[in-house]
Structure 1
Amino acid sequence: MIRVGINGYGTIGKRVADAVRDQPDMEVVGVAKTRPNYEAEQALERGYDLYAAIEDRAHKFADAGMETAGLVDELVAQSDVVVDATPSGIGAQNRDLYEEYDTPAIYQGGEDADVADVSFNARSNYDEVRGADHVRVVSCNTTGLSRLVAPLREAYGVEKVRATLVRRGGDPAQTGRGPINDILPNPISIPSHHGPDVNTIFPDLDIDTLGMKVPATLMHMHSVNVTLEAEPDAEEVRELLADQSRIMVIDESLDIEGTGPLKEYAMDMGRPRADLWENCLWGESVTTEGRDFYCFQAIHQESDVVPENVDAIRAITESADAAESVATTNDAMGI
């Protein structure tokens, strides 16, 4: 069994912990939090050992009636791999801790790419990550774009990608995020950071991205145009994408017109936390004109990177090849 520590038990960390626990070849050593709150309380309720991430604040857990198993250093020392799910920028600060205990670490897409030896997307570059000590799982949006680009490159070749990302203002629990009543170019300059981030997966890809922020919390939306090297048939492309295990092609008969019904669909399916781990791509939006392909896809920012973290664990430990890992992860999580 691969022993996995989770440093940071927030939006991503709690989902990764549950996904790791569901795997047949992994176990959760424990999770680390900086302070007691409802997530720390729920970590204990779910049976996870809780570790204090900051020694000076460790007493606050006891004051709140929450028992800890020790400090984060002990969690790192006991783990074969640590998934760092701390806020952006903190992962880079934690790298020295992981190196001190010679524990490989997986970082999230909020970190700069140079925090790790290589950036990771299971569909696109699994083999490049095998045996690495420090790996960065790219962001939710970059994950969604990479999953879409990989099969198109393989089947048709890609000349250029153009994507406009309409991004949610914040997650449902982020009360301080916005905008509340505005539509923001974010950033105003072009490209947004997403294109260069996709280039950490596909270095030779010609890609332009534009970003916006809107007053919504549920999901991101991508409007994508790809100029291919070969002239595709729309139905063939639709079938190609439907064959991808982490792309959910939404059939017109489902009458899902936006991200609200998508989240309702996830709840009705009984998905934990109403998570949508897959790219949600509207089948009727798949259009081709000459060598140009167009589509709309929605990305659940809280969850699409979760299976990627699980696969990154196997890649780092060299315990499975790409196909085996993805199949195992998908089966265990119900993807």
Structure 2
Amino acid sequence: MKINVSVNGYGTIGKRVAEAILKHPLLNLIGIGKYTPDHEAFLAVEKGFSIFAPKDSLTKFSSKGVKVEGSIEDMIKLSDVIVDCSPAGKGIENKKLYVSYNKKAIFQGGESKEVAELSFNSRCNFNAAKGKKYIRVVSCNTTALCRIIKPLMEYYQNQVKNIEAILLRRAADPCDDKTGPINAVKWSRAPSHHAEDVKTIMKDLKISTSAFIIPHTLAHLTYLIFNFNSDAPTQEEVYEIFKKERRVAVVENAQSTAQLIEASRDLELKRCDAYVVYLLMNTFNKNENKISFTIVTPQESIVIPENIDALIAQSNLMDEEKAQKITEKILHIDLIKESIEKIFSNQLTIPQLLHS
């Protein structure tokens, strides 16, 4: 039996989650919640999505020629679960509506942890999401940190003394014409919130983070330092660990975010969505009990598989590995990882990507 899902909010994350839901064999998309009758609404109609709008905006949508199936409340009534992809801070307000209709919901990382019973990362706590009514998928940067930290903690357990991370955050998504800066570097008061966000998932982790916003749109970068109690692992050992991680692309020879994005374009990935964390092996350094390296986070797409996994885990539809592999199959993550790794390993054979 399929789970009826609606997506409330049709921005950077919402549009991608909606399309992923359409591809999943156990999920049925009821429709999307749209709040403005803009060009995105027309595009959604062209894609065949059923649009639901606020009651007081139905006339506005109709006057603009946008077909609307009903109100946001109508959409919620038809749904088993709502994926809330509204702007940061709006989800907590929307939750009141979901509670009033006794509906399950998935929230995004822009909301505070208090919005949900569980902060979720598929690599770290898939099974903990089973039966939870309200789940928060952590932010793009926290998702990336979890995908990198968890495997190393599993392999080296008590040997990791602490972790430091310096984030270079993109100023805005490519579609964002309101956010900046365009000619400055901004920073947050240290420590940044990212460490505490990671600890909503890995509670006893010793981690500190600092964050800077830099004037570009392509991706986030994070410089990671792992301090060990004894001799740190070698580059070869770290390489072998992450080659086995299905949602991490181990990149040997890339020199810039521009190269990574251009590779996504040349592979004809839709919207350049890669879904994986890029681990840059040519930034790896070992100094006795310390290793450091840089990762690149595709901020528009990395949380999409997490949202799908959260839906499956929440409703306990299948076990962890099977659920993750189906998500990866519908998004072609296995082929994307393989292609990116081969491109930047000076190997010319690239697997045939299926575009859909």
What TM-score do the two structures reach when normalised by structure 2?
0.90
Q: Match of 1:145?
A: 145
Which amino acid in the other structure matches residue 109 of structure 2? G
Q: Shift of the alpha carbon at 1:233? A: 2.1
Q: Shift of the alpha carbon at 1:251? A: 2.6
Cα RMSD (Å) of the superposition? 1.1
C-alpha separation between the residues in 1 aligned to 2:6 and 2:289? 46
C-alpha separation between the residues in 2 aligned to 1:152 and 1:289? 17
Pick from 305, 308, 320 the counterpart of residue 306 of structure 2.
308
- Structure 1 runs of 4+ with >4 Å offset: none
Cα distance per residue 1:18-53 (max 9 Å; x no partner): 11111121121100111111211111111110000x
Cα distance per residue 1:253-289 (max 9 Å; x no partner): xxx2111111111111121111121101112223333
Q: Match of 1:19?
A: 20
Q: Shift of the alpha carbon at 1:105? A: 0.2
Q: Shift of the alpha carbon at 1:322? A: 1.5
Q: Match of 1:159?
A: 161
Q: Match of 1:299?
A: 297
C-alpha separation between the residues in 2 aligned to 1:171 and 1:95? 26
Long gaps (5+) in structure 1: none
Is 1:168 paired with 2:170? yes
Is 1:214 paired with 2:214? yes
* Aligned residue runs from structure 1 range 65-76, under 5 A: 65-76=65-76
C-alpha separation between the residues in 1 aligned to 2:38 and 2:15? 13
C-alpha separation between the residues in 1 aligned to 2:129 and 2:166? 29
Q: Match of 2:277?
A: 279
C-alpha separation between the residues in 1 aligned to 2:287 and 2:320? 33
- Tell me: higher relative CO, structure 1 or 2? Use CA pairs within 8 A at least 6 residues apart: 1
- Range moving further from structure 2, 86-95 or 230-239: 230-239
Q: Match of 1:136?
A: 136
Q: Match of 1:178?
A: 180
Contact 1:119 1:137 in 2 (8 A): yes
Which amino acid in the other structure matches residue 118 of structure 1? L
C-alpha separation between the residues in 2 aligned to 1:318 and 1:181? 47
Q: Shift of the alpha carbon at 1:153? A: 0.4
Cα distance per residue 1:59-113 (max 9 Å; x no partner): 1111111110101111111112110000011100011111122211000000000
Is 1:63 paired with 2:63? yes
Is 1:105 paired with 2:114? no
Contact 1:238 1:286 in 2 (8 A): no
Identity %: 37
Q: Shift of the alpha carbon at 1:229? A: 4.7
Is 1:238 paired with 2:236? no
C-alpha separation between the residues in 1 aligned to 2:280 and 2:212? 20
Which amino acid in the other structure matches residue 324 of structure 1? K
State how many pairs are aligned.
Answer: 329
Long gaps (5+) in structure 2: 334-356
Which amino acid in the other structure matches residue 52 of structure 2? Y
C-alpha separation between the residues in 1 aligned to 2:267 and 2:73? 39
Contact 1:156 1:229 in 2 (8 A): no
Secondary structure, in 3 states, of the residue corresponding to 1:5?
strand
What TM-score do the two structures reach when normalised by structure 1?
0.96
* Aligned residue runs from structure 1 range 312-327, under 5 A: 312-327=310-325
Q: Shift of the alpha carbon at 1:293? A: 2.1
Q: Match of 2:339?
A: none
Is 1:199 paired with 2:199? yes
